[in-house]
Amino acid sequence: MSSTIDLDAQALSDDTLNAFMDDQLDPEERGEVFDAMNRHRSVTERICELSRLRAMVQHAYRDPAKPKHLQAATRRSHPLVRGVAAGFLVVLGGLLGWALHTTPHAVSGDQAFLGRLANGNGAFMASRVGQKSLAGTGMHRILLHIASSDPRRMQLALNDVQELMNLYPRNRLQVEVVTNAGGVNLLRADMSPFKAQVEELMRKYPNLSFLACRNTIDRLTRMRGAPVHLIPDTRVGPTAVQEIVSRLQEGWIYIKV
């Protein structure tokens, strides 16, 4: 990190605050952030906001089974209701400004469609704060997250990509598929059951990207004792959580497949 930090509350970047939370600053830098927290309440509020956002995304990773009474209600409900019903995401605080969409009556037509893409896995998450930067631009930025090695989940994610491409003009849409854990198998050149489909989608849609979690790749490399080869033109990010948090802050909509 830089040896000096601008103590103005507005000048403190999210990268600096994330490094502070990860204990990656040296003692002098940490002292400067603590000083800024003492002098500017807004700095403390931003750190709390980043912490809550991380917790929300990490909670989504667990994807716990729904209680039996919710499972029964889901089976009886209309597909649209299943798509936007709350399941694996929990809002940890209203101060954060994140919207967990739970009912078809509370969302717009586009949001109801995005909820349906969630396919009953629980919900989709959007930042009311981040989306202000997209207001009036007509842009739709959507992140699909897959952490399962189940080929059915992989196929569902690719079907969702195609549906989105059919729904919005290409110059108004950006889609990113983020993979971690078993989901990285979707992008492995030697074992993906959908290698040809992924390559065709990337060739056809320049507004689409695929990303694999570096932590997962490193773990697989250690377990296998051999490098992991990905489908060409896929990206690698440090962690899936980091990518998701960053995109949410930029106003993207998050859907776990």
Residue 8 clears pLDDT 60, i.e. is over it = no
In the chain the first and final C-alpha atoms are separated, in Å, by 35
Beta strands across the sheet bearing 173-179: 98-100, 124-127, 253-256, 140-146, 173-179, 208-213, 235-237
CATH of 68-256, one of 3.40.50.10490, 3.40.1260.10, 3.40.50.1220, 2.40.10.10: 3.40.1260.10
Distance CA 215, CA 224 (A): 14
pLDDT of the residue at 171: 92
Domain ranges of the chain: 68-256
pTM listed for this prediction: 0.62
pLDDT of the residue at 124: 53
Long-range Cβ pairs for the range 68-75 (8 Å, 24+): 74/120
Which range, 16-25, 57-66, 95-104, 166-175, is most confident?
Answer: 166-175
For residue 249, give the nearest of 87, 67, 18 by alpha carbon.
18
